[in-house]
Amino acid sequence: MERVLIAIPSVGVSDIRFAVSLGNLAKPRGTALAAVPRSMPDIARNILFDQAVKNGFGRIFYLDDDMIVDAGLLLALSEFMDSDPSVAAAAPLAFRRHPPFQPCVGMARGDRYEPLSDLDGGPIDVDMIHFAATLVRVEALQKVPPPRFEFSASRDGSSVIGEDISLSRKLKPHGRLVCIRNLPEALHIGVPPTVGRREHDAASRASSRILIP
């Protein structure tokens, strides 16, 4: 099993629930932690990747400090990556912090990405993956020219493309992006106490109701 750098691009939350989650996280032998001060997420992620390369880590586990993860997540992701050298990045399900709490993974539909609709089952290849609690193969990410993570404008200039979507596009030619749906989801610390599939499903049910006068 390759050495892992747990990379924490701080968003400044410093929530005790994150600290407990990180402390309980089972870590493969040789794992180290690195964090950067509060910064733009694309800049922070790039700095942490450079540290992983400089110090000879084979994998980097991006973990935002507004997440709560299962204690066995990193070991499960590592074992999955060990089993398939074609995997560039692997992650559990996670959901956005704001209504309607859409999945943070998705499929390409032309120039756009749609949130993953099939949330049940095992591992599934996706076109867009989050980097909130995600294991990445350093060798694959090195093949992406810098800046690897970057915010960019949409083709028509009407919106900004997040750094996770931007990197997904560039990383996918160098390996599979896999969401492992049967692992415990990574919970966002959000507007409700935490955000996960329960909140997503509730929001979806509410939006689908038809009111008849």
Q: Would you say 69 and 59 are in contact if contact means Cβ atoms under 8 Å apart?
A: no
Look up residue 147 and give its DSSP letter.
P
Block means of pLDDT (10 residues each) for the chain, length 213 residues? Answer: 92 80 97 90 95 98 96 98 98 93 94 92 98 98 96 79 93 98 94 85 74 40
> What's the per-residue H, E or C state across 25-83?
CCCCCCCEEEEECCCCHHHHHHHHHHHHHHCCCCEEEEECCCEECCCCHHHHHHHHHHH
Residue-level pLDDT at 212: 39
Residue-level pLDDT at 97: 87
Most distant CA pair in the chain, distance: 65
Please state the domain extents for the chain.
Answer: 4-208
> Cα(119)–Cα(94) distance, rounded to whole angstroms?
10
Residue-level pLDDT at 12: 65
Residue-level pLDDT at 155: 73
User: For tokens 């028509």, what's the residue?
Assistant: 156
Q: Which CATH class is domain 4-208?
A: alpha beta
Residue-level pLDDT at 103: 97
Side-chain half-sphere exposure of 95, counting CA atoms within 13 A: 25
